Amino acid sequence: MSETNRIEYKRELTDGLEKEVIAFLNYREGGILYIGIDKEGNTYGLADADGDQLKIKDRLKNNIRPSALGLFDIVSEEKDGNDILKIIVASGPEKPYHLKKYGMSEKGCFVRLGSAAEPMPQKMIDELFAKRTRNSISKIRASRQDLSFSQLKIYYEESGYTLGKAFSKNLELLTEDGAFNYAAYLLADKNNISIKVAKYSGITRTDLIESNEYGHECLVKATKQVIDKIAVENRTTTKITSKERQQANLWNPIALREAIINAFVHNDYTNEITPKFEIFSDRIEITSAGSLPEGLSKQEFFEGFSVPRNKELMRIYKDLELVEQLGSGIPRILGHYGKESFSFSDNFLRMTFIAKEAVVEEGGQIGGVKGGQEGGVIGGAIGGVIDSTEALTKRQKEVLKLIATNPSITYNEIAEVLSINESAVGKHITAIKNKGFLVRQGDTRGYWKINLDEN
């Protein structure tokens, strides 16, 4: 593959790295930079890919302004038997980005033109700076400054990180004058952010049967609570034939999880509007404030071009492994649902996922009520017992909950939902089996049976 407007190759790590990244940050589509491949597309690899990865992260963190943190991913890959690095760069929301050393000048600002990074004309620099988005959650001062972050620290510790004393600065939770910003407010232990999950008995909003409110706490915790709640609602449907019993969820759990996280991370919080989650008898609707970012077309959106609305949230959700990598969410959803599931307006983005059919026995007889109740009871009852089980680790509980929701779930599906590799899933399942909580019924066409009675 040759270089394009969105792809750049470098045989080795050079001094021009920041220039190429800045050009992609200032480009409306972002781009991908490969280190270890020459201009002709030949793979040479890197002698110390891990060391180069640390150097790249440090250089991009310290040499580019405004901060590019949360706007790039560095992924280690193998090509032709050699280690290479892939740097995924999103289009930045605070253009023009520039080299810290030279400031907003033609010597410090670059933009992608064709397959090259070119100096940005001063007129373009001035125009971009005049349009720079200042009303963002990083620049809005929080309404209260007595914020604490014990929940956020716990989530980081569970992911293997320790937040030091300067975490609020490092995570960009401060305004330019050192006060807590609105991003900090969203992630604090206590806030006034309310997240609602509504459930209706039919296909309209006339008969509300359940209203759950989350939030008023760290946004990460609220996200996890909504994911768990909707996972319980995502009950199992069954098709029974003379030969086998085929089970599937009402909605694809991978797409559903990506949609929930996408709504939280990309929601426009500047008007204090939060994402909304609604469950109907035939569908789930997920609505987030804010339509497409400026300059991003629908086609580019569907192709996975990333323009993070809230880069501070994106960075933290990536740190906590809730988001795998930039631009991966929408293509994952499209792997299971069509583009017609998305609707755009001037102020909102809505994702609508149609439910699969309920229980169908051979011959066409429908038993939807029976199947729906069975799936709902399994998801809810076992979920609570799993949470209270001390013999399992946090990750093992997550795996077991997914199996409770879908006893026929595959290793690959678990890996995708939890953003871990299949070998890690295998180790967790082996540990759960060894502890007596899980038994496999049948071969590859079989299903998992959960055993909590004797534990």
Q: Spell out the per-residue pLDDT of the chain, length 455, in tens.
A: 688 999 999 999 999 999 999 999 999 889 999 999 999 889 999 999 999 999 999 999 999 998 898 899 999 999 999 999 999 999 988 899 999 999 989 999 999 999 999 999 999 998 888 777 556 888 888 989 999 999 999 999 998 888 989 999 999 999 988 999 999 999 999 999 999 999 998 889 988 999 999 989 999 999 999 999 999 898 776 555 555 556 678 899 999 999 999 999 999 998 788 999 999 988 999 999 988 876 678 888 888 777 788 889 999 999 998 987 777 788 889 989 999 999 988 889 999 999 876 433 333 333 332 233 233 333 444 566 787 788 888 888 888 888 887 777 888 888 878 878 788 888 899 999 988 888 887 766 677 888 876 55
Please give, one letter per residue, the 3-state secondary structure of the chain: CCCCCCEEEECCCCCCHHHHHHHHHCCCCCEEEEECECCCCCECCCCCHHHHHHHHHHHHHHHEECCCCCCEEEEEEEECCEEEEEEEECCCCCCCCEECCCCCCCCCEEEEECCEEEECCHHHHHHHHHHCCCCCCCCCECCCCCCCCHHHHHHHHHCCCCCCCCHHHHCCCECCCCCEEHHHHHHCCCCCCEEEEEEECCCCCCCEEEEEEEECCCHHHHHHHHHHHHHHHCCEEEEECCCCEEEEECCCHHHHHHHHHHHHHHCCCCCCCCCEEEECCCEEEEEEECCCCCCCCHHHHHCCCCCCCCHHHHHHHHHCCCCCCCCCHHHHHHCCCCHHHEEECCCEEEEEEECCCCCEECCCCECHHHHHHHHHHHHHHHHHHHHCCCCCCHHHHHHHHHHHHCCCCCHHHHHHHHCCCHHHHHHHHHHHHHCCCEEEECCCCCEEEECCCCC
Q: What is the pLDDT of residue 417?
A: 80
Query: What is the C-alpha separation between 277 and 200, in angstroms, rounded?
Result: 11
Fold of the 389-450 domain: Arc Repressor Mutant, subunit A (1.10.10)
Q: How is the chain split into domains, by residue range?
A: 7-131, 135-368, 389-450
Please state which of the four CATH numbers 3.90.79.10, 3.30.950.30, 3.40.718.10, 1.10.1510.10 is assigned to the domain occupying 7-131.
Answer: 3.30.950.30
Query: What is the C-alpha separation between 120 and 140, in angstroms, rounded?
Result: 29
Query: What is the C-alpha separation between 277 and 257, in angstroms, rounded?
Result: 12
Q: Among all chains, which residue has been given the structure tokens 């090509």?
A: 79
**CATH code of the domain made up of 135-368:** 3.30.565.60
CA 202 vs CA 279, 323, 384: distances in Å:
9, 33, 27
Torsion of CA 167, 169, 175, 178, to 10 degrees: 100
Q: What is the pLDDT of residue 286?
A: 96
